[in-house]
Structure 1
């Protein structure tokens, strides 16, 4: 089985496996779940990322500081280097959707968890 384990702080946190293997595991466990296609999943993912109302990135440093987080601490939590986070904060780089979602999650930005 093709499996990728993602660790944080030396402890396994996520397991990533191919969709077909996931479906087979659900079936073996007796979990009734309709087969979703990759396009259905991607559509749901783009809807979810579009619903994140993230403040403009020129406010990111202020928001991080207001939460009492050091740049390196937030970068590690998000899974990027501190230098890359610094580039995002100063407007040199624009993060992709996954990094935006992670930043929103770590900073508790409303909208990510369905908060009003």
Structure 2
């Protein structure tokens, strides 16, 4: 089995595995693979330019929010101002910290 373990602060947080292996695990557990697949709600993507307003709507300060994501407040300010385009890992951390599904690609 090809599993990638993602940690946060040294503790395992997620396990990622190929889709076919996930389906095999569901089948082995007696779960209906199609029902689980169909039950997935569509992910609503938010434009990254909404980052500041989403953070502010949750009452999070830039300093607190930046530290919870693992970036400096100065770097967060540059992302919010559109001066920096964060990599995929930082985008995931931003989305996770705000409780949103994901960010859409800004084209």
Q: For this structure pair, what is the TM-score category when the shorter chain's length is used for normalisation?
A: 0.5 to 0.7
Matches within 5 A, 1:32-71: 32-34=32-34, 47-50=42-45, 52=46, 56-57=50-51, 59=52, 63=56, 66-68=59-61, 70=63
RMSD: 4.1
C-alpha displacement of 1:90? 2.5
- Match of 2:12, SS state, is strand
Residues 16-56 of structure 1: CA deviation (Å, up to 9, x unaligned) = 0000000000000001121888xx9xxx78x5233x48773
Name stretches of at least 5 consecutive residues in structure 2 with no aligned partner.
Answer: 102-107
Aligned counterpart, 2:12: 12
Name stretches of at least 5 consecutive residues in structure 1 with no aligned partner.
Answer: none
**TM-score of the superposed pair, with normalisation by structure 1:** 0.56
**TM-score of the superposed pair, with normalisation by structure 2:** 0.59
Are 2:6 and 2:13, in contact at CA under 8 Å, matched by a contact in 1?
yes
Structure with the bigger RCO (C-alpha within 8 Å, sep 6+) is 2
Query: In proportion to residue count, which structure has more strand?
Result: 2
Are 2:49 and 2:82, in contact at CA under 8 Å, matched by a contact in 1?
no
